[in-house]
Amino acid sequence: MALMITDECINCDVCEPECPNGAISQGEEIYVIDPNLCTECVGHYETSQCVDVCPVDCIPLNPDFSESRDELMEKYRRITGENAA
């Protein structure tokens, strides 16, 4: 699944630079996550970096984008251009 940022976001700016895929950007009112770029950091890290740094715990899984770990890895490969090993 991709992640999402809820309206509890306080715009603290710590999540955006942590995203290795550039999936996080400033929205109209709060930060948003592009589900087409979010891999939950699969391929980069063991844990989702934005979730790890969020001080208000406002980054849950997005139920509208259900993906397995294998699908997230495939998305990572598409985004980074890394060939399957």
CATH number of 16-80: 3.30.70.20
Does residue 77 register a pLDDT over 60?
yes
Average pLDDT over residues 56-84: 92
Does residue 49 register a pLDDT over 90?
yes
Q: What is the pLDDT of residue 5?
A: 98
Q: What is the pLDDT of residue 84?
A: 52
Domain boundaries, the chain: 16-80
Does residue 6 register a pLDDT over 70?
yes
Does residue 85 register a pLDDT over 90?
no
72-79 contacts, C-beta under 8 A, 24 or more apart: 72/39, 72/40, 72/42, 72/43, 73/39, 73/42, 73/43, 75/39, 75/42, 76/21, 76/39, 76/42, 76/43, 76/44, 77/43, 79/21, 79/37, 79/39
Q: What is the pLDDT of residue 37?
A: 97
Cα angle 72-77-18, degrees, rounded to a multiple of 5: 70
Q: What is the pLDDT of residue 1?
A: 81
Q: What is the pLDDT of residue 82?
A: 82
Residue 84, classified by CB atoms within 10 Å of its CB into exposed (0-12), middle (13-18) or buried (19+), is: exposed
- Report the share of the chain in percent with pLDDT over 70: 96
